[in-house]
């Protein structure tokens, strides 16, 4: 049973892009397109989710993702409550489902969940009453579906189509929920060549089974790419002895203007943020003409509006 879809095929929760039908992904992207102009209006709001209560449940800290979910919900006229649970009840030992039950008793309509444990959003989605929707805003190493969707939206805006693209995802694929969501979305949307580039210690064993080609050097991996997606290198990986040093990582896998020149001349550079300048990406590239890193943030709002509107509309009450 697919927990994400209602019996009539409508989106009920958004937990992962793995197995999400192409038609639904396309519908989310199309809907996001029509939300793009709301941010330009005199009144930056539409009344779709008026009277709905959306709870941002962040068990793990985040600034950008939480903020863009909050703005998206407010542009849809929902009431938003932000809970940074890492600093509240959890430290008092409250179980996660007790937290959820308490918020449901306050008449929540939707939970946006970020948690360090893979599967946390699924766990909550299985537990909640039928009228409540759950959006996974990042769970452990598993998935970050709205990030994957906003990346697809960005690619479609700049490249138009998916069927003729070569896309490279560079860096710490092993620990990246963003990379997993991107790979599922890219393959579902029919991108013929998806590459992952990184040191052997940071690519998952058997990654080819996800339908991608693995490269261990940038020269071969970037050749002919239309889209280059850089991943954040988390500092704790250095301590975990997977890498010798940030300097050495930058030398081999950091995106510099010279390495970017190996991709197509009109290639775009993406990064989910936050960036480590001088570790996975050089400032000249991050701030350069091929970077679409800031548009990604703007598009993230429209995409999250689309997801929330699709979840809240016609809900089986």
Q: Residue numbers of the site for other proteins (CB under 8 A)?
A: 10, 27, 30-31, 33-34, 36-38, 41-43, 45-48, 309-310, 312-315, 317
Structure tokens, 153: 């939206």
Q: How far is the CB of 29 from other proteins (least distance, A)?
A: 12
Q: How far is the CB of 82 from other proteins (least distance, A)?
A: 24
Q: How far is the CB of 76 from other proteins (least distance, A)?
A: 8
Q: Which is nearer to other proteins, 27 or 256 (CB)?
A: 27
Q: How far is the CB of 19 from other proteins (least distance, A)?
A: 20
Q: Which is nearer to other proteins, 38 or 238 (CB)?
A: 38
CA–CA separation, 17 and 295 (whole Å): 22
Does residue 274 have a cis peptide bond before it, meaning omega lies within 30 degrees of 0? yes
Q: How far is the CB of 148 from other proteins (least distance, A)?
A: 21
Helices (H), the chain: 22-35, 64-75, 96-105, 120-127, 145-159, 177-188, 218-222, 235-239, 246-253, 257-260, 283-286, 293-312
Structure tokens, 166: 């070569």
Q: What angle do CA 317, 17, 219 make, to 5 degrees?
A: 160
| CB-CB neighbours of 163 under 10 Å | 8
Q: Which is nearer to other proteins, 34 or 164 (CB)?
A: 34
CA–CA separation, 140 and 118 (whole Å): 4
Q: How far is the CB of 56 from other proteins (least distance, A)?
A: 21
Q: Which is nearer to other proteins, 31 or 298 (CB)?
A: 31
Q: How far is the CB of 44 from other proteins (least distance, A)?
A: 9
* CB distance 270 to 153 below 8 Å: no
3-state secondary structure of 194: strand
CA–CA separation, 71 and 54 (whole Å): 12
Q: Which is nearer to other proteins, 38 or 97 (CB)?
A: 38
Structure tokens, 76: 């849809």
Q: Which is nearer to other proteins, 6 or 262 (CB)?
A: 6
CA–CA separation, 60 and 57 (whole Å): 9
Q: Which is nearer to other proteins, 43 or 105 (CB)?
A: 43
């Amino acid at each position: 049973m697919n927990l994400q879809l209602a019996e009539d095929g409508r989106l009920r929760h958004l937990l992962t892009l793995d197995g999400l039908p192409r038609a639904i992904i396309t519908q989310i992207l199309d809907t996001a397109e029509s939300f793009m102009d709301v941010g330009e209006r005199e009144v930056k709001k539409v009344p779709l989710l008026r009277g709905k209560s959306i709870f941002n449940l962040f068990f793990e800290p985040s600034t950008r993702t939480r903020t863009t979910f909050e703005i998206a919900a407010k542009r849809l006229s929902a009431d938003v409550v932000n809970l940074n649970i890492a600093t509240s009840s959890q430290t008092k030992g409250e179980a996660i489902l007790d937290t959820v039950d308490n918020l449901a008793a306050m008449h929540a309509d939707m939970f946006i969940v970020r948690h360090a444990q893979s599967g946390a959003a699924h766990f909550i989605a299985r537990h909640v009453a039928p009228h409540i929707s759950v959006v996974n805003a990042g769970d452990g190493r598993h998935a970050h579906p709205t990030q994957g969707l906003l990346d697809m939206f960005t690619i479609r805006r700049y490249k138009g189509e998916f069927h003729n693209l070569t896309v490279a995802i560079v860096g710490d694929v092993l620990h990246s929920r963003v990379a997993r969501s991107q790979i599922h979305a890219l393959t579902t949307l029919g991108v013929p060549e998806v590459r992952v580039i990184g040191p052997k210690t940071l690519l998952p064993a058997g990654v080819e089974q996800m339908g991608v080609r693995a490269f261990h050097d940038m020269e071969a991996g970037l050749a002919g790419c239309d889209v280059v997606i850089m991943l954040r290198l988390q500092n704790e990986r250095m301590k975990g002895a997977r890498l010798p040093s940030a300097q050495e990582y930058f030398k081999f896998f950091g995106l510099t203007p010279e390495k970017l020149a190996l991709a197509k001349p009109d290639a775009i550079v993406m990064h989910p943020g936050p960036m480590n300048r001088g570790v996975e990406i050089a400032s000249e590239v991050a701030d350069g003409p091929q970077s679409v890193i800031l548009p990604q943030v703007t598009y993230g709002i429209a995409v999250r509006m689309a997801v929330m509107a699709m979840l809240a509309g016609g809900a089986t009450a």
